[in-house]
Amino acid sequence: MPTVLVTGDAACAAEAKALVPAVETVAVKEGIRRGSAAGLSAAENQRFNGAAIHLHPQLARESIRAAAERALRRRREIPCLTMPGPYELVSTQRAVDGRAPEVTRTAGDDVVAVLGWPAGRR
């Protein structure tokens, strides 16, 4: 199933365009701070990421609706993103109450299995 529309923040839209240049995107907000929040506590992350410039909700809805219509009209022009395996999912839980961050890793050649989805979701 091809992804023809990506909505989110400006960084998400830029990443989607870098992977699939033809994909339709709508950036509905842009973070004011730049850089990774990796390694920050939950409270530090909230302060770090707490400021963004948002589109007015009505303008965001209108922009998303227009982009969705364009994306559906262009769906045959927008290629599927393919990423050959092997795959690795790294999940990091933030440090809480002085405990170290918890990191789990899952790897394999089947992206559905790595994500832990039931086989029927393929």
Helix (H) or strand (E) holding 22: none
Angle formed at CA 18 by CA 111 and CA 71, multiple of 5 degrees: 85
> Are 26 and 57 spatial neighbours (Cβ–Cβ below 8 Å)?
no
For residue 15, the model assigns a pLDDT of 96
CA distances 7 to 25, 32, 37, Å, are: 6, 18, 21
Question: Residue 17 and residue 54: Cα distance in Å, rounded?
Answer: 20
At 114 the three-state DSSP class reads: helix
pLDDT band at 119 (very low <50, low <70, confident <90, very high): low
- Asked if pLDDT for residue 120 goes beyond 60, the answer is no
Q: For the segment 98-113, what is each residue's pLDDT rounded down to a tens digit?
A: 788 888 999 999 888 8
The contacts found for 35-40 with CB under 8 angstroms, 24 or more apart, are 38/92, 39/101, 40/94
**Does the pTM exceed 0.95?**
no
For residue 88, the model assigns a pLDDT of 93
Higher pLDDT, 121 or 67: 67
Structure tokens at 102: 């918890």
Q: For the segment 6-53, what is each residue's pLDDT rounded down to a tens digit?
A: 999 999 999 999 999 999 999 999 988 777 777 777 777 777 777 789
Q: For the segment 63-99, what is each residue's pLDDT rounded down to a tens digit?
A: 999 999 999 999 999 999 988 999 999 988 877 777 8
Residue 16 backbone phi and psi in degrees, to 5: -60, -45
Residue 32 backbone phi and psi in degrees, to 5: -80, -35
For residue 30, the model assigns a pLDDT of 92
